[in-house]
Amino acid sequence: MTLLFITVLLVQPGIPNLLNVAESDILPMKPDKVQLWLTELACVKKLAYKTIKTYLSGAITIASQMGYPNTIRDNEAIAFTIRGIKRTIGENAPNSDKKLRLPITTDIIQQIVRCLPKAMNRNYNQKLILAAIVTGTYGLMRAAEFVSTNSAQQVVLCVENLKLYNPQRELLNPATARGNELQCCQYYTINLTQSKVDPFKRGTIITISNSIAVSAMIEYLSVHPSLKNPHSTLFVHRNGSDLSRRQLMEQVRILLRLAGVPNVESYKGHSFRKGGAQSLKDKGYSDDIIQKMGRWSSDAHLLYATNNVDFFTSISNNM
């Protein structure tokens, strides 16, 4: 019954027919042949990790029932190949590029800023969205870490989680600052009380000092409707309702179109974190720095940032 089920599975249209190539390529289970086959499934056929694991299990079962020995059990090369596939395409990777997430880099943010009116002439919504964008990218944050994802979300970023500092590292109170005092702000911090990379909820401090980001945050705070309430949500509409992730991405795509950025539908909630990592990579920062800035405890950040031609040529020119 098991062999019959696997045979039916593997001869479906669009699925590699192992039985047709068994004698020459797959069976008996030779590790080098299996490595090439797994790589083809991942890179050429773009199958999901779990699907690839199913195919491998099916092939092992077929080999066993046909009397071939299992020569790939505990094989390090196969184990490393499977692990590499999982890290590269993800455990639940789709068969298409429909979940492609492009990075919102600092260069794109500068494009957006150039297309907006001068700070003093921006409307409330423009100030709100720009402040959220710069916080996400320069802070290497996921959208769910700084805006509301659903009505049942228990932890949202509040005014009290934001701190402003002048060049002397003295704390500024945005609710009571007078005159040009806030214009002296040199950097701000976000106290992220919990996140995906902080399972024990120890909390972490994110520091953002880029001048574009600081200016955008100050401009937004000047119109925040409930700044004196420390428990008020940080990113809110003029009526006091929370800015949601869906609303944020809708407005971000409008600004991206305004700035002439293509493929706007490929920018998702993770595009800020991805864009921050990519921007650091483009500036030549090491993987260690990117990992520290993004609060990664593993090398998962390598999936976010990729070297581009400009990066390689700039390094080559300095050799």
SS3 162: strand
Q: Angle formed by the axes of helices 106-115 and 271-282, to 10°?
A: 110
So where are the chain's domains?
2-89, 106-303
Alpha carbon distance 35, 121 (integer Å): 59
Per-residue pLDDT of the chain (319 residues; tens, 9 = 90+): 333 333 333 434 444 444 334 334 566 778 888 888 888 888 887 788 888 888 888 888 887 888 887 777 778 888 888 888 888 777 654 444 446 789 999 999 999 999 999 988 999 999 999 999 999 999 999 999 999 887 666 668 999 999 999 999 999 988 887 667 788 899 999 998 876 666 666 778 999 999 999 999 999 999 999 999 999 999 999 999 999 999 999 999 999 999 999 999 999 999 999 999 999 999 988 888 888 888 877 655 555 555 555 544 444 444 4
SS3 148: strand
Fill in the DSSP letter of residue 297.
Answer: S
**What architecture is domain 106-303?**
Orthogonal Bundle (1.10)
Neighbours of 270 (CB within 10 A): 19
pLDDT for res 20: 39
DSSP per-residue letters across 68-103: ---TTTT-HHHHHHHHHHHHHH-TT--SSSTT----
CB-based burial, 162-171: b 16+ in 10 Å, e otherwise: bbbbeeeeee
Which amino acid belongs to residue 166?
Answer: N
Q: How far apart are the first and last CA of the chain?
A: 63
Neighbours of 212 (CB within 10 A): 15
pLDDT for res 35: 85
pLDDT for res 9: 38
CA atoms within 13 A on the CB side of 131: 29
pLDDT for res 1: 33
pLDDT for res 272: 96
Fill in the DSSP letter of residue 240.
Answer: S
pTM over 0.75: no
Pairing mode of beta strands 171-172, 162-165 = antiparallel
pLDDT for res 201: 66
Taking the CA atoms of residue 12, residue 17, residue 19 and residue 21 in that order, the dihedral angle to the nearest 10 degrees is 170
- Return the closest-CA partner of residue 57 out of 44, 75, 40, 70: 70
pLDDT for res 210: 94
